[in-house]
Amino acid sequence: MIVGIMGAMPEEIAPLLAHYQTYESISFGGNTFYKVVLESKTLIIAYSRIGKVHSALTASTMILHFGCEKIIFNGVAGGINPQYKIGDLVLGEKLCQHDVDITIFGHPFGYFSEGKVFTQTDTALNGIAEKIAKKNGWTIYQGVIATGDQFISSKERKDWIKNEFNADAIEMEGASVAVVCDNLGIPLCVIRAISDNAGDEALVSYEEFLETSARVSASLVIQMIDEI
């Protein structure tokens, strides 16, 4: 089995590369992919770079070029559910694009023609992730993750996204990866560790907790690979 593991930034895949240690670096499509060969499976690891276009390109490359049969997206997100604390984990049960707006044609926010507002992830992978997190005593939720090509640091925008999509967390890549996997029939799990609260102080909080939160998320992914 070939499994793709994605992050958006180097910090989000660094703990994985440090754990596996032995890998082949492959340049393709303007990015570098790290191939890890294990006893019963092969991993293709990469950071996509930030944003929906880069993440969709990376996911498509993993599936269509490297033959990945499952995708796990690992990284950090801003929390907008008041229950979520920094370091908590959230599984994207479904994802949406909060910055899509063709409402002038009578469609809801987040909707593209011949598309849908919300894209579901894989229940089996989510179940594995949830079981492992609980075994380790990590706080984990399943919720709605909203994606957009914006770093949200405004309370007003955060509240709008929360109310419009009933969203629990915000990031910049997950929904585009979900659309790719949904169209190509590939099971997807999106795991995000909360690094900030997406409010007015989000930038300071994000920079302070990025690496810590990314390590928590990567630890879960490593244990998932052992079970898949």
Task: Find out whether 67 and 79 touch, Cβ atoms under 8 Å.
Answer: no
Separation CA 163–CA 223 (nearest Å): 34
Catalytic: which of 11, 12, 168, 171?
Answer: 12
How many C-beta atoms lie closer than 10 Å to residue 108's C-beta? 13
Q: Is 101 a known active-site residue? A: no
SS3 readout for the chain: CEEEEEECCHHHHHHHHHHHCCCEEEEECCEEEEEEECCCCEEEEEECCCCHHHHHHHHHHHHHCCCCCEEEEEEEEEECCCCCCCCCEEEEEEEEECCCCCHHHCCCCCCCCCCCCCEECCHHHHHHHHHHHHHHCCCEEEEEEEECCCCCCCHHHHHHHHHHHCCCEEECCHHHHHHHHHHHCCCEEEEEEEEECCCCCHHHHHHHHHHHHHHHHHHHHHHHHHHC
Q: Is 196 a known active-site residue? A: yes
Separation CA 217–CA 102 (nearest Å): 34
Catalytic: which of 122, 168, 171, 196?
Answer: 196
Residue numbers annotated as active site: 12, 196
